[in-house]
Amino acid sequence: MAIDDSTIRAQAQRLLDEISFSPFEQCQPLSREFATIPARPGIYAIRHRTHGLLYIGKTKSLRGRFSGGHKAFLWAWLDQYPTEDIRIAIQTVPPWQTPALLLELEGMILRATEPPYNVQIPAER
């Protein structure tokens, strides 16, 4: 099933709005197990309480992505951000969405926001 560009852009905008504008207190706090994060595919953002989006990514398993560690946490520590000021915003996506679609959604969101901890931002295709 092919998805047209306008549908992809609308979905990317919805995901971006959710991870950007959901209240900070409703985002996932840092933990060792990340048990409250679903083991489902999705788009996620590492957010700072006042500085906003620090990093955006996609994954096949949100919980798995964080339980093994994440470089954005190290960078936040190096920038001396207090742990209580860092949270994870997540948006699950239906499992039928292809890795290529997730990659496209992530790219659109990255180009729109240019978070400081994302080293490479893919060019628009």
Give per-10-residue mean pLDDT for the chain (125 aa). 75 88 93 89 94 93 88 88 94 81 86 88 65
Residue 44 located in a structural domain: yes
Q: What is the H or E stretch that residue 116 is in?
A: none
Residue 79 located in a structural domain: yes
- Domain hosting 109: range is 5-113
Question: What is the pLDDT, as a whole number, of residue 121?
Answer: 67
Domains in the chain: how many in total? 1
Alpha-carbon distance of 30 to 18, in angstroms, equals 19
Question: What is the pLDDT, as a whole number, of residue 122?
Answer: 65
Residue 81 located in a structural domain: yes
Residue 123 located in a structural domain: no
CATH code of residue 59: 3.40.1440
Question: What is the pLDDT, as a whole number, of residue 27?
Answer: 95
Enter the DSSP assignment of 83.
Answer: G
Question: What is the pLDDT, as a whole number, of residue 124?
Answer: 67
Question: What is the pLDDT, as a whole number, of residue 48?
Answer: 95
Residue 70 located in a structural domain: yes
Count the Cβ atoms, other than its own, within 10 Å of residue 53. Answer: 21
Question: What is the pLDDT, as a whole number, of residue 87?
Answer: 95
| Contact predicate 45/19, CB 8 Å | yes
Question: What is the pLDDT, as a whole number, of residue 101?
Answer: 82
Beta bridge partners of 45: 56, 89
Nearest to 34 by CA among 63, 2, 5, 68: 63
Residue 10 located in a structural domain: yes
- The secondary structure of the chain in percent helix, strand, coil, rounded to multiples of 5, reads 40, 20, 40
Residue 9 located in a structural domain: yes
Question: What is the pLDDT, as a whole number, of residue 24?
Answer: 96
